[in-house]
Amino acid sequence: MPKSVLFVCNMNSVRSPMAAAILASAADGAVKVDSAGVYEGGLDPFVESVLGEIGVSLGDYEPKAVSDIRLDGFDLVIALTPEAAAEIRRQLPRERIEYWPIENPSDVRGDRNALMDAYRSVRDELRGRIRVRFPGFGAKA
C-alpha cells in the first residue's frame, strides 16, 4: 500500500480533486493524498455538490499545477487523463504511475439534472476504482 498518492488531471478542477477527496476521506490520515493538474484551473462547483451527497468535502482545497509540487514526494501518481499521463511519464519512472481514463463530466451538455448525473457518474467510477485499488479503505470510499 502506498504511503502517498497524487491524482493528476488536466486542470485540477474536477476529476483529480474529486478522487483525492474520496481517498483522503476513506484513508482518514493513513495515506498522504493530494491532487494537481497539468495546468491550474478553478474549482468546479458541481464537485462539492456531488461529494457532499456522499459525506465528503473538498474543504479549503485550492487547485494547483503539477509544476507547483514535488512529484518525487509521492509513492504513486494516478493520472486521470491522457494529457496528465503523458506529462507525468516525462517526470517519473513508469512503475510509480497508474493511468485511470476518466471522462470529463464538464463536457456533458444539458440541464442541471443532466450535469449532476454526469458528475455523479464520475464520482461513482472514482469511488469504485479507489475501493478496488485501496481495499483497506473500501468501507469508507
What does the pLDDT look like over 50-89, one tens digit per residue? Answer: 999 999 999 899 999 999 999 999 999 999 999 999 999 9
- d(CA 129, CA 141) in angstroms, rounded, equals 10
Locate all alpha helices (DSSP H) within 39-111, ordered by sequence.
Answer: 45-52, 82-89
Q: What is the pLDDT of residue 76?
A: 97
- d(CA 80, CA 62) in angstroms, rounded, equals 18
Interval 16-47: pLDDT, tens? 999 999 999 999 999 999 999 999 899 899 99
Homologous superfamily, domain 4-137: Response regulator (3.40.50.2300)
Band (pLDDT 50/70/90 cuts) for residue 140 is: low
Band (pLDDT 50/70/90 cuts) for residue 138 is: low
Residue whose cell numbers read 457518474: 121
**Stated pTM of the model:** 0.95
- d(CA 120, CA 114) in angstroms, rounded, equals 10
Helix (H, G, I), strand (E, B) or coil at 129: helix
Set of cell numbers at residue 103: 471522462
Please say if the pLDDT value at position 141 is more than 80.
no
